[in-house]
Amino acid sequence: MKVLVFVVALMAVALADEECDTLTRLKVKAQWIEAYSHGAARHAFAQAIWRAMFKLSPDSLDLFKRVHASKEADHPEFIAHANRVLAGLDISISLLDQPEALKAELEHLQDQHKERHIPDEYYENFGKALLHVLPAQLGRCWDKEAWSHCYDFIVHGIRGH
Protein backbone atom coordinates (compact mmCIF):
# COMPACT_ATOMS: atom_id res chain seq x y z
CA MET A 1 0.00 0.00 0.00
CA LYS A 2 2.74 2.41 1.03
CA VAL A 3 4.57 1.63 -2.17
CA LEU A 4 1.45 2.37 -4.17
CA VAL A 5 0.98 5.73 -2.43
CA PHE A 6 4.62 6.51 -3.07
CA VAL A 7 4.30 5.60 -6.75
CA VAL A 8 1.16 7.72 -7.11
CA ALA A 9 2.89 10.62 -5.35
CA LEU A 10 5.91 10.21 -7.58
CA MET A 11 3.66 10.21 -10.64
CA ALA A 12 1.92 13.35 -9.40
CA VAL A 13 5.28 15.08 -9.03
CA ALA A 14 6.36 13.89 -12.44
CA LEU A 15 3.06 15.11 -13.90
CA ALA A 16 3.27 18.53 -12.25
CA ASP A 17 6.87 18.75 -13.41
CA GLU A 18 5.89 17.82 -16.92
CA GLU A 19 2.95 20.23 -17.12
CA CYS A 20 5.09 23.06 -15.83
CA ASP A 21 7.62 22.33 -18.58
CA THR A 22 10.52 24.45 -19.76
CA LEU A 23 8.56 26.62 -22.18
CA THR A 24 5.67 27.03 -19.75
CA ARG A 25 8.16 28.10 -17.08
CA LEU A 26 9.65 30.73 -19.35
CA LYS A 27 6.17 32.01 -20.12
CA VAL A 28 5.22 32.24 -16.44
CA LYS A 29 8.53 33.93 -15.67
CA ALA A 30 8.00 36.60 -18.30
CA GLN A 31 4.41 37.25 -17.29
CA TRP A 32 5.38 37.43 -13.62
CA ILE A 33 7.93 40.20 -14.27
CA GLU A 34 5.12 42.24 -15.86
CA ALA A 35 2.59 41.50 -13.10
CA TYR A 36 4.94 41.85 -10.12
CA SER A 37 5.54 45.42 -11.23
CA HIS A 38 7.22 47.89 -8.87
CA GLY A 39 6.65 50.66 -6.34
CA ALA A 40 3.13 51.40 -5.11
CA ALA A 41 1.70 49.12 -7.79
CA ARG A 42 3.49 46.19 -6.15
CA HIS A 43 1.95 46.92 -2.74
CA ALA A 44 -1.50 47.10 -4.33
CA PHE A 45 -0.90 43.84 -6.20
CA ALA A 46 0.04 42.11 -2.92
CA GLN A 47 -2.90 43.70 -1.08
CA ALA A 48 -5.41 42.65 -3.73
CA ILE A 49 -4.21 39.04 -3.54
CA TRP A 50 -4.40 38.89 0.25
CA ARG A 51 -7.82 40.54 0.42
CA ALA A 52 -9.15 37.91 -1.96
CA MET A 53 -7.35 35.20 0.03
CA PHE A 54 -8.92 36.34 3.32
CA LYS A 55 -12.36 36.41 1.72
CA LEU A 56 -11.85 32.82 0.58
CA SER A 57 -10.37 31.61 3.88
CA PRO A 58 -11.31 33.99 6.70
CA ASP A 59 -9.89 31.52 9.25
CA SER A 60 -6.42 31.90 7.80
CA LEU A 61 -6.29 35.41 9.34
CA ASP A 62 -5.37 33.73 12.64
CA LEU A 63 -2.08 32.51 11.15
CA PHE A 64 -1.02 36.10 10.48
CA LYS A 65 -1.96 37.65 13.83
CA ARG A 66 1.68 38.41 14.54
CA VAL A 67 1.87 40.65 11.46
CA HIS A 68 -1.47 42.38 12.13
CA ALA A 69 -3.43 40.77 9.36
CA SER A 70 -6.94 42.06 8.74
CA LYS A 71 -9.55 41.65 6.02
CA GLU A 72 -8.43 44.99 4.57
CA ALA A 73 -4.80 43.83 4.50
CA ASP A 74 -3.75 47.45 5.00
CA HIS A 75 -1.75 47.47 8.24
CA PRO A 76 1.80 48.62 7.42
CA GLU A 77 3.26 45.56 9.09
CA PHE A 78 0.98 43.31 7.10
CA ILE A 79 1.85 45.11 3.86
CA ALA A 80 5.49 44.44 4.70
CA HIS A 81 4.65 40.80 5.25
CA ALA A 82 2.61 40.59 2.05
CA ASN A 83 5.52 42.01 0.10
CA ARG A 84 7.85 39.49 1.72
CA VAL A 85 5.60 36.64 0.65
CA LEU A 86 5.56 37.96 -2.91
CA ALA A 87 9.34 38.30 -2.74
CA GLY A 88 9.52 34.57 -1.89
CA LEU A 89 7.24 33.81 -4.80
CA ASP A 90 9.37 36.09 -6.96
CA ILE A 91 12.52 34.13 -6.13
CA SER A 92 10.78 30.82 -6.83
CA ILE A 93 9.35 31.99 -10.15
CA SER A 94 12.63 33.61 -11.19
CA LEU A 95 14.41 30.31 -10.56
CA LEU A 96 11.90 28.23 -12.52
CA ASP A 97 14.53 27.77 -15.24
CA GLN A 98 17.30 26.81 -12.77
CA PRO A 99 16.06 23.53 -11.25
CA GLU A 100 18.92 23.11 -8.72
CA ALA A 101 18.63 26.58 -7.25
CA LEU A 102 14.84 26.36 -7.30
CA LYS A 103 14.99 23.12 -5.34
CA ALA A 104 17.12 24.79 -2.68
CA GLU A 105 14.75 27.79 -2.46
CA LEU A 106 11.66 25.58 -2.19
CA GLU A 107 13.31 23.50 0.53
CA HIS A 108 14.09 26.71 2.40
CA LEU A 109 10.45 27.84 2.11
CA GLN A 110 9.32 24.37 3.14
CA ASP A 111 11.31 24.69 6.37
CA GLN A 112 9.76 28.06 7.10
CA HIS A 113 6.24 26.74 6.62
CA LYS A 114 6.65 23.31 8.23
CA GLU A 115 5.76 24.05 11.84
CA ARG A 116 2.79 26.21 10.98
CA HIS A 117 0.63 23.25 9.95
CA ILE A 118 -1.03 25.08 7.10
CA PRO A 119 -4.04 23.26 5.63
CA ASP A 120 -3.81 22.38 1.94
CA GLU A 121 -6.96 24.42 1.42
CA TYR A 122 -5.09 27.64 2.21
CA TYR A 123 -2.49 26.97 -0.46
CA GLU A 124 -5.26 26.26 -2.95
CA ASN A 125 -7.13 29.43 -2.06
CA PHE A 126 -4.00 31.55 -2.26
CA GLY A 127 -3.55 30.15 -5.75
CA LYS A 128 -7.15 31.00 -6.59
CA ALA A 129 -6.66 34.56 -5.37
CA LEU A 130 -3.40 34.88 -7.31
CA LEU A 131 -4.98 33.55 -10.49
CA HIS A 132 -7.78 36.12 -10.25
CA VAL A 133 -5.62 39.15 -9.62
CA LEU A 134 -3.03 38.22 -12.27
CA PRO A 135 -5.29 38.75 -15.30
CA ALA A 136 -6.52 42.02 -13.81
CA GLN A 137 -2.91 43.16 -13.67
CA LEU A 138 -1.81 41.63 -16.99
CA GLY A 139 -4.85 42.21 -19.16
CA ARG A 140 -4.95 40.00 -22.22
CA CYS A 141 -1.49 38.50 -22.25
CA TRP A 142 -1.60 35.74 -19.71
CA ASP A 143 -1.99 31.99 -19.79
CA LYS A 144 -4.15 30.60 -17.02
CA GLU A 145 -3.17 26.97 -17.61
CA ALA A 146 0.55 27.75 -17.53
CA TRP A 147 0.16 29.60 -14.25
CA SER A 148 -2.02 26.94 -12.74
CA HIS A 149 0.52 24.20 -13.51
CA CYS A 150 3.56 26.12 -12.32
CA TYR A 151 1.83 27.40 -9.18
CA ASP A 152 0.95 23.81 -8.30
CA PHE A 153 4.55 22.84 -8.91
CA ILE A 154 5.90 25.56 -6.58
CA VAL A 155 3.31 24.91 -3.85
CA HIS A 156 4.10 21.23 -4.06
CA GLY A 157 7.72 22.10 -3.30
CA ILE A 158 6.75 24.29 -0.31
CA ARG A 159 4.31 21.77 1.20
CA GLY A 160 6.74 18.90 0.58
CA HIS A 161 3.93 16.51 -0.38
Task: Give binding residues for heme b as ranges.
Answer: 113
CA–CA distance, 102 with 67 (Å, rounded to integer): 27
Long-range contact list for 10-14, CB < 8 A, 24+ apart?
Answer: 12/156, 13/156
Taking the complex as a whole, the smallest distance from the CB of residue 144 to other proteins amounts, in Å, to 9
Contact at 8 Å (CB) between 20 and 152?
yes
Nearer to other proteins, 7 or 136 (CB): 136
Taking the complex as a whole, the smallest distance from the CB of residue 140 to other proteins amounts, in Å, to 4
CA–CA distance, 151 with 69 (Å, rounded to integer): 23
Nearer to other proteins, 44 or 67 (CB): 44
Quick one: which of 24, 25, 32, 45 contacts other proteins (CB under 8 A)?
Answer: 45
Contact at 8 Å (CB) between 43 and 86?
no
**Interface contacts to other proteins, rule CB under 8 A:** 37, 39-41, 43-45, 47-48, 51-52, 55-56, 71-72, 74, 128-129, 132-133, 135-137, 139-140
